[in-house]
Structure 1
């Protein structure tokens, strides 16, 4: 029997090989990640630097791109949006995209500011005149200024014992001459046209020529006011309309016999109202040059 302790000891050494080469795929993935991060930060920067109107345009585009495409112009909501819309923009000046607000809107805003400034200036002038002339101070309550749809309205109303005109007549009282001439100077400071209208109370006109009513009286008083404004220096071409309303548009509807219903109303017209009046009167738009050219001789 052999001794096991005398057996040779064999040691097996297993040599493990190193990791194999993985190639460059990780570099491509890393480059894609860096590119995505750069795009993300660029997007954040753009969103932080644009206006709210542009953001709304982008939001509207992704919410309903078909609607934006059909709307035309430069996008949704704002005229300066990033996304350009399709279709035909009727207000465009050149090409497809309109630039800025339509001229009519810009002109309307300028018109409103101009008439508001005229109202403030008129109020300041009347305050100064009242301080300088105690006689004019008693007529302050007869002047009423307000902004209406057609523009700035200046009304001179009657009081019980202080009418603008002699009873049943279109002859102006002395204070009315002075007020109308002061107004004439102010009206020349703006390019706007002017409309004049006369009003009476509901008292029936008595005496005079047959058929002479409050309609005729209000019309004649409006025309007398027109003449006085021109005497005060108002350019004749600025007066666009003169009419009489009789007693059908009372200032005090609860008391149609109230003296304040007898009044002269002067409206400094905004451009839109002026255009409407001219259109109603039958004024035609300028015809194209070809239409106005004389026909060729045959």
Structure 2
């Protein structure tokens, strides 16, 4: 028998068993989360393309345009997705070059109206700021000024008076002015009295939800525009400064839905010299 010092060493081998189909460290969860996020973004994009108009999609594209900061124009619109372009001065400014007086649009050039020296533009802007700042005098005046929105266009300064859902400017579908419009007209007349430019009055109405043999919207918009003109003159506005009174029926809706009350409105345009 061998002595204790000559005993063979005992070697124990441990085998690691590998099981297929393990969790692989959880990397698949990250990949799956990325996939779900991408699909959600894709479906949101499809929904957005289907739910917006061409004008709204152009506004979104202009917002993400990387060259926007180098343009010397202000953003357009008085709310989300409003305005022809974010390069316009407001929701009705001409598209592309904004409303800068030193950069007349092709339309103004075609009419022979080159860029002015900036004096008239400043006057119109000051008058617009004056109208926009009238709402802080009292709660009643603040409620009244909710019906007014202003903007600069190629024609001049546009002061728009429009219906609110529960506060119309005219009784029903008639041309009888409510007290709200009677209170608003002197505000516009007083502001326009500070300058000598001619004025145009435009009437707009909403589309009717029913089909009639004779659509009354043309007569309705024209009658309302003439009522607004008469109220202006009763407020002391010089009749000789009235250049034209027009009714546009429901052909130029202010919002996407042509049947909402917001489309019932009267526009007073303080015309630029030469227009």
**1:118 aligns with one of 118, 123, 127:** 127
Indicate which of 151, 156, 160 corresponds to 1:151.
156
The alpha-carbon distance between structure 1 residues 265 and 111, as it changes in their structure 2 partners (threshold 3 A), is same
The residue correspondences of 1:1-298 to structure 2 (distance < 5 A) are: 107=116, 109-124=118-133, 126-128=134-136, 131-132=137-138, 134-203=139-208, 211=214, 213-252=216-255, 254-273=256-275
Q: Which has the larger radius of gyration?
A: 1
On the 8 A contact 1:196/1:266 being kept in 2, the answer is yes
Q: Is the 8 A contact 2:205 2:249 kept in 1?
A: yes
Q: Number of residues paired by the alignment?
A: 163
Q: What do the CA deviations read for 1:128-168 (whole angstroms, capped 9, x no partner)?
A: 4xx33x22322332210111111110001111111100012
SS of the residue corresponding to residue 274 of structure 2 reads: helix
SS at match of 1:248: coil
Equivalent in the alignment of 1:20: none
1:121–1:148 Cα change, 3 Å: same
For normalisation by structure 1, the TM-score amounts to 0.51
Question: SS in structure 2 opposite 1:271?
Answer: coil
- Note the aligned Cα RMSD (angstroms): 2.1
Report the TM-score when normalising by structure 2.
0.55
How far apart are the structure 1 equivalents of 2:152 and 2:179? 28
d(CA) in 2 for partners of 1:106, 1:142:
32
**Runs of 5+ unmatched residues, structure 2:** 1-112
Change (3 A) 1:196 1:205: farther
Whether contact under 8 Å (1:205, 1:214) holds in the other structure is: no
Q: Is the 8 Å Cα contact of residues 108 and 271 (structure 1) preserved in structure 2?
A: no
Change (3 A) 1:137 1:183: same
Q: Which has the higher helix share?
A: 1
- Say if 1:231 and 1:107 are closer, same or farther in 2 by CA, change over 3 A: same
Summarize the Cα distance change of 1:271–1:256 in structure 2 as closer, same or farther, 3 Å threshold.
same
| Partner SS state of residue 138, structure 1 | helix
